[in-house]
A and B are shown apart, each in its own frame.
Chain A
Amino acid sequence: MSELGGDRSPAHRKPPTVISVVTDHLGRIRSSDGLFAHYYGVESRDVAGTLLEEYVCSEDRPYLRSLLTAPMDQRVDGVVRFCLLGQGFVPTRVVIEPGPARSTFAVAIIGRDLPCREHERGDPNGLLLAQAVLNQTRDLILVLDSEGQVLLRSPSVKEFIGRDPVGFGFCKVLPLEPDSDFEIKKTNNPLRASSPAPGNGSTPASGRYRFPARNNRRIQVVVDQVISPDDPRGKKNGSVVRLDEETERLEGESRMGGGREDLSASSREIQQFVYAASHDLQEPLRMVSSYLQLLERRYAGRLDKEGLEFIGFALDGAKRMQELIDALLVYSRVVSRARPSGPVDARMAVAEALEHLEQKLATTHAEITVGSMPIVWADRAQLVQVFEHLIDNALTYYSDAVPRVMIDAERLNGSTRFRVQDNGIGIDPQFHNRVFELFSRLNAREKYPGIGIGLAVVQRIIERHGGLCWVESSEGSGSTFFFTLPDHPMVEDA
C-alpha cells in the first residue's frame, strides 16, 4: 500500500512506500503485507514467525528492539538499516504504534525511492488523485476496500478517531453503535423506517450511530457503494463513507453536555486547589512540628509530666495532619500524574505490588495466591497502585488467622474482572459503600493503622480507567474486592 496522505514530499520525488508489518512484543512478525516479502526477499508465507530484526543490519538490532520495547503510549519513530533485496543495507524510517491486537505493534516501514514495482507506475487506480481530492476537504471521508479496510481518509478523520485508520478495518477503528435513542423517538416517522444495521460486519451501513469511544458523539454515516479501488477489474465493491457529526442536539442532552463541561472545569480547579493546598500547607505545618520537637528537645528537663504530654498531643496532631496532606497529594496525583494507558501484564503488576509490600508480607507471614492474569489496557503504575492498596488492605485488616490473599482475574465480555479475596475481619454490608470514601475509616486508629486513603485511590484509579469497583463481604468472614477494567477499543481478543 502506498502512503498517499499528509506528507508533502517534493514534487520530484515519488511518494514513499509504506510497508506494513504487525509484530508481537518480541518483534516477531505476525503478519505483513505483500510488499514486505517483495522488498526484503522472502516468500510471503515464510515471513510470519520470523523476527523483524532478522531483516535489519545487526548493529541496528538493539536499537530496533529498544523501539519495540518503548512505552506504547505513543508512536515511536526511528531509522534502521534494512537489507533491501539487491541493494544491501538501506537506512529506512520505521514508525511503530500499538497494533490491532493486544500486545502487538503496527510497524510501518517507510521506504523512499524503492525500486518500482510493475503496478506502481503511474496511478492506475486513481488512488493518488483520490487522496489529493480528499486532502482538500474538512469533511470526514473514508474510502474502504471490499473487505472494509480503510484505504484512504481525509486528514480530519485522523483527528476525529485519534489515530490513522489506514490499513485497519473500518469497524475496528470506529466501533459505532446504532443510535437507539434516536430510533425510539422517531419510529413514527415513515421516512426513517430502516434502522441502522451495523452493515455486513466489515462495512458500515448508512444510518445514525453513536461513537462510544468519543463521549457517545452522534454521527450520521452516509455510505456510497463504488467499485473497489483495490480491484481494477471492477468486480468487487468498495465504499466511500462520509461521517457527519450531529450538531443539533436534543434540548436535554445539550443541557447535560454543558453540565459535563462545567464539571470537568470545576474538577480541574479542585485538582489545582488540592495540589496547591497540600503543597503550601506543608510549610507552616513543618514549622509547627519542628518547633514543637525543638521545644521538647531543649526544655524536656524543665517541663513536668503534663507539659510533656501536651506537647505529645500537639505533635501527634501535627503528624496526623502531615499524613492527611500526604494522602491528599497521593489522591490528587491519580489525575495529575496519570500516564496514558498501554498494554500491561497484570501478573507483572501484581508482582511489583508485592515487591512494594515485601516488609509487611514478611511480618504478617501472609500467604498470597495469584491465579491466571491477563494482559490488560491500563496505566501501568496505577494498576500496580490498585493491587498494592488492595493487598495492603488485606494485610492490615486480618483476624487471628494467618492472612491469606487470593488474586485472580476473569475475562468478561468487553472487560476483565479482577478479584482480591482475603480471610480478614470482613466488612459489615451497611458500610460497603463507605469504605471507598476518602478518609473514611471503620475501625479505631489504635487497633488498625491507616487514614482511609487506599480504597479511595483505588476507586479513583478504576473510575479513571472506565471500570467499576465494589466489595462483597460480611463481618468476620473475609472480604472480596472486585474491580473491572474495560478492554481498549482497539484491542481485540488475542
Chain B
Amino acid sequence: MPRDILLVEDSLGDIRLIREALREIGGCHSLHVVNDGVDALAFLRRKGIFGWAPRPDLILLDLNLPKKNGREVLSEIKADASLKDIPVVVLTISTAEEDILTAYRLHANCYVIKPVNLDQFFRVVQSIERYWLSRDLSGDGIWYGH
C-alpha cells in the first residue's frame, strides 16, 4: 500500500532533494507537495481543489513558508481533533533554539535541521521515512526527536 506523505515546502530545490532521497530508498511513496501554509491546511481539510486529497501518513513541514508560516500550520493541525494524530516532522534550516522549542511546544513529533551535506540530508530523509512509515529504528541523522 503506498504511503502518502505531505510535504509543505516552498523551495523547489529542497522539494527535489527530498524526492530524490525517497527515490533512492525505493519503496512505494506518494509525495504530495504544497508550497504554502494555506494550501497545506486546505489539503488536509480537503477544501477547494484538494477535494480529492488522501489523508497523509506523515507531514513534512518547513517552518518558513509564504502566507501562513509553519508554526501557524503546526498549531492548527495539532488543535484539530481529526488531524492531530498525523505525525508532523518539522524540517528546517533554523538552528535557533527558540524555533526548536516553539515547535515542540506546538507538539511537533520531531524537529530536523536540514543538513548542508547531501549524504547527511539523504540519510535524514531516509531515517524519517524508516522511523515514521516503516517503524524501522536503525536510521541515523540529526535528530531532535521525541
Contacts and interface: CB of A to CB of B under 8 A. Distances in A.
Interface of A: 279, 282-283, 285-287, 289-291, 293-294, 297, 322
Contacts of B31: none
3 nearest interchain CB pairs?
A: A293-B118, A287-B13, A290-B118
Nearest to A287: B13
Contact of B20 (A286, A287, A294): A294
Given A282-B116, A286-B114, A290-B118, 12 more contacts: A279-B93, A279-B94, A283-B11, A286-B116, A287-B11, A289-B116, A289-B117, A290-B116, A291-B13, A293-B118, A293-B119, A297-B118
A297 B118 CA distance: 10
A290 B116 CA distance: 7
Highest count of chain B CB atoms <10 Å: which of A282, A287, A290: A290
B119 A286 contact: no
A282 B64 CA distance: 14
B132 interface: no
Interface residues of B, number: 13
A322 B117 CA distance: 11
Nearest to A297: B118
B17 A294 contact: yes
Contact of A322 (B20, B94, B116): B116
B104 interface: no
A85 B95 CA distance: 54
Contacts of A322: 116
Contacts of B20: 294
Nearest to B13: A287
Contacts of A285: 116
Contacts of B11: 283, 287
Most buried by A among B117, B118, B119: B118
Contacts of A286: 93, 114, 116
A297 B116 CA distance: 15
A210 B116 CA distance: 53
B47 to A, nearest CB: 30
A interface SS class: helix
A289 B119 CA distance: 11
Contacts of A297: 118
Contacts of B118: 289-290, 293-294, 297
B93 A283 contact: yes
7 contacts: A289-B118, A290-B13, A290-B118, A290-B121, A293-B119, A297-B118, A322-B116
Interface string B107-146: 0000000101111010000000000000000000000000
A291 B121 CA distance: 12
A53 to B, nearest CB: 33
A297 B24 CA distance: 12
B10 to A, nearest CB: 11
Contacts of B121: 290
Contacts of A279: 93-94
B16 to A, nearest CB: 9
Nearest to B96: A279
A288 B108 CA distance: 29
Nearest to B24: A297
Interface string B67-101: 00000000000000000000000000110000000
A286 B14 CA distance: 9
A283 B117 CA distance: 12
Contacts of A282: 93, 116
Nearest to A290: B118
Contacts of A294: 17, 20, 118
A287 B20 CA distance: 14
Nearest to A291: B13
A290 B17 CA distance: 8
A288 to B, nearest CB: 9
Contacts of A287: 11, 13-14
Contacts of A283: 11, 93
Contacts of B114: 286
Contacts of A293: 117-119
Interface string B44-82: 000000000000000000000000000000000000000
Nearest to B94: A279
B99 to A, nearest CB: 11
Nearest to B119: A293
B113 to A, nearest CB: 11
A285 B119 CA distance: 16
B70 to A, nearest CB: 15
A77 to B, nearest CB: 24
A283 B116 CA distance: 9
A283 B14 CA distance: 10
A279 B13 CA distance: 17
A322 B114 CA distance: 14
A48 B17 CA distance: 68
Contacts of B119: 293
B123 to A, nearest CB: 13
A283 B95 CA distance: 13
Contacts of A290: 13, 17, 116, 118, 121
Nearest to B115: A286
A291 B11 CA distance: 13
Contacts of B14: 287
Interface string B22-42: 000000000000000000000
Nearest to A325: B116
A271 to B, nearest CB: 15
A328 to B, nearest CB: 14
B32 to A, nearest CB: 22
Contacts of B17: 290, 294
A279 B117 CA distance: 17
A337 to B, nearest CB: 9
Nearest to A296: B118
Nearest to A319: B116
Nearest to A298: B20
